[in-house]
Structure 1
């Protein structure tokens, strides 16, 4: 998802029970959002409770954290019968009552991907409906879609060193955000809360960020006041930067002269060599160090071949030249650059003027690209998709978490491209958008799910659809 906001407001405080209430739960299947479906041990057919920090098949003691007329939530605080997939958490501070952002760190990494596979299949069936579920299953070869690890996780899990294997999925985040508490100490929000807690050593961050000591050193507190926002960026080119309330600082805490960072994406597997991007330090970029290259490879292959995986490097130069592409929610040009470099004619639309400015700087010199700022809408799709008088051959969409929505999807279908490539970071939104595309005459041709957010419930899915 290339248009996820760089800044997020803290989630509203959860409605908590008036008095501490503990329950014994038998834990069932995972649910979208990092919970499992559970019921009390003395009422197996009773009300569903969504429990965090548990695993399917476990029996746990849990404390209720939310009770409304619509939903009950709880945190597992004692494991009475443990799953074989339970491991020592790589981020204990993200456990019960702790910070958000590491809700699956107690789950073995392979089991996390199984968890996400179940959630994807459930959302496709329950939200998209049987036609969507069947279409995706057939495109995946008759089975549920596997969620694939990124290269750094593959290497770590294959290591002969036990500690390296145990820490697989950590040290991968090149961006993070912190908030100062009332004492000016930087921390992270508790789950569904505005309370700021100490997150510990930030195990998901790459070493260049972890070594800054953002939560420990007085150096950073000198620049803070209660509620200050800190963003740390470790680009693939150059030293890390720290932004505090918009002020850009070096790793030594001095004012920085640069507000942009350079990113390099290895696209040699597509025959495109290294792709170089210029991005504002506070602009959006995929957070996992392997994610930009993995997504570029999947999306460009999908545009060219109809499959987001496999194939050789020569296919790009041989088959994409002259293809017209309408790209919606294009961000800072992550996909625009490789498509243009491969010879496609690209018209892009992005809501953030800053992101469009970044893309313009990156794509300077490409006369086959037309960059536009604005909201994705039916009118925009119709106008931009027919700039040369004929509909675009391919539409690429990478919408924010809520998905593209029916208006945009139906406008894309009305445009009539022969192929649609949909990138989704939320399986529920994906199911809804796929339902609209299938209803409008498209067939799922290929699908690939990538575990770009280990130790959390998030993942990314790339789906290719062709008009029949």
Structure 2
């Protein structure tokens, strides 16, 4: 139906029956032909929803104000900050096993709708990282902001306001160290727990990332862009600990710069490493010394696992972030050593160089992709499809971008051999995925 743009339900309270989960963590309900995205609901519940944001189109957004008929999947929120309205643990009111089922439905819906891929084994199963079932205290990298009183807290959902109650995600050692440190008002705080048990804390002036634009989607996009710009900026002042953080997976050790990327969940790096190395080693007709490209390779987590599984593998890490390249350089050396080399480059540039100077890059048998939340993008996936490695392993941290990326390959005739979700952010709607695709059979 066509909605009158003057429609505005902001401030109204609607009694609604909640339907299924939506990408982004809200649950869907309907009223008078319009979709209402409900924060804090669970499928099947009868709830009163306060409408917070109505852009005047076919949908609006609201927050559950009271539960009339509760779902059996509803539990007491494990996160004090989320219970107080913070945007951190938006699914802490849902039992962990049920949350994984809902996350699997979201991943399935995105892959079938955006990727246009038929999944015979739906919904997609969502795994616990490396068998670690913890729903609190699992985060080893966390950020806070300080209010006018200088007390660290987290943001209220869809707002720049601060919630002083503590989020349950960070490891208790991080929470304690941050609570015992004085930062002053208007600061951003970064806390990192190394795998050696060392606590590292840094701070810098908080940026004004107030979203601009009309409508929820534009506001969210503006805020995301602002945070991305700020995350790349320098200016961290170390308060506690060292400038580098010790990271360990198996027998390998990295020293990653404090602000360098590493998996936030304490068991996620091990889980992804195990999954990727198994997918690579089971590539059909894999040679004894395969060439492997580790694109968006970070500090070389996957490269190390592949070399451990296949000692003769020749792995090229392609990474543009200087902090991650520094971590890879520390782990594997400044020059090609042990079959691993690091190329500091954007993936797009690396692929263009391969096209213009084909003699400099041996084509791979396997490609590993671990792009940022926006995914690799259609042009990159089209180039990889044309290069035609035997297998592509895609680690996606957003269901929609993962679905778009692998949909390019499936449309080109590739076979989706395996797809599974990973609950790398317990208590939240975020679900990541590992997709394995094999090249079309050729005569």
Q: Give the shorter-chain TM-score range.
A: 0.7 to 0.9
Identify which of 45, 65, 68 aligns with 1:58: 45
Matches within 5 A, 1:50-199: 50-70=37-57, 71-95=59-83, 98-129=85-116, 132=117, 134=118, 137-138=119-120, 142-151=121-130, 153-154=132-133, 168-199=134-165
Per-residue CA deviation, residues 123-149 of structure 1 (Å, 9 max, x unaligned), is 1122122xx1x2xx24xxx34221011
Q: Is the 8 A contact 2:115 2:404 kept in 1?
A: yes
Distance 2:10 2:189 in 1: 35
Aligned to 1:242: 201
Q: Is the 8 A contact 2:9 2:54 kept in 1?
A: no
Distance 2:354 2:297 in 1: 13
Give 5+ residue unaligned stretches, structure 1.
1-16, 155-167, 251-255, 267-273, 308-317
Per-residue CA deviation, residues 318-371 of structure 1 (Å, 9 max, x unaligned), is 977511011211112111222234432111211211211111111127242221
Distance 2:140 2:197 in 1: 12
Aligned to 2:220: none
Distance 1:177 1:75 in 2: 25
| 2:428 is the counterpart of 1:456 | yes
| 2:181 is the counterpart of 1:203 | no
Per-residue CA deviation, residues 183-213 of structure 1 (Å, 9 max, x unaligned), is 222111112222122132x32222221332x
Per-residue CA deviation, residues 96-144 of structure 1 (Å, 9 max, x unaligned), is x611120000000100001101111111122122xx1x2xx24xxx342
Deviation at 1:18, TM superposition (A): 9.3
Per-residue CA deviation, residues 294-333 of structure 1 (Å, 9 max, x unaligned), is 00000111111149xxxxxxxxxx9775110112111121
Distance 1:127 1:32 in 2: 12
| 2:342 is the counterpart of 1:376 | no
Distance 1:387 1:192 in 2: 50
Give the number of the structure with larger relative contact order, counting CA–CA contacts within 8 Å between residues 6 or more apart: 1
Distance 1:122 1:411 in 2: 26
Distance 1:78 1:110 in 2: 23
Deviation at 1:75, TM superposition (A): 0.3
TM score, norm. by length of structure 1: 0.80
Query: SS at 1:48's partner residue?
Result: strand
Distance 1:19 1:127 in 2: 30
Distance 1:18 1:382 in 2: 50
Per-residue CA deviation, residues 3-50 of structure 1 (Å, 9 max, x unaligned), is xxxxxxxxxxxxxx796321111110100011011123xx4xx10010
Aligned to 2:219: none
Regions of 4+ moved over 6 Å = none
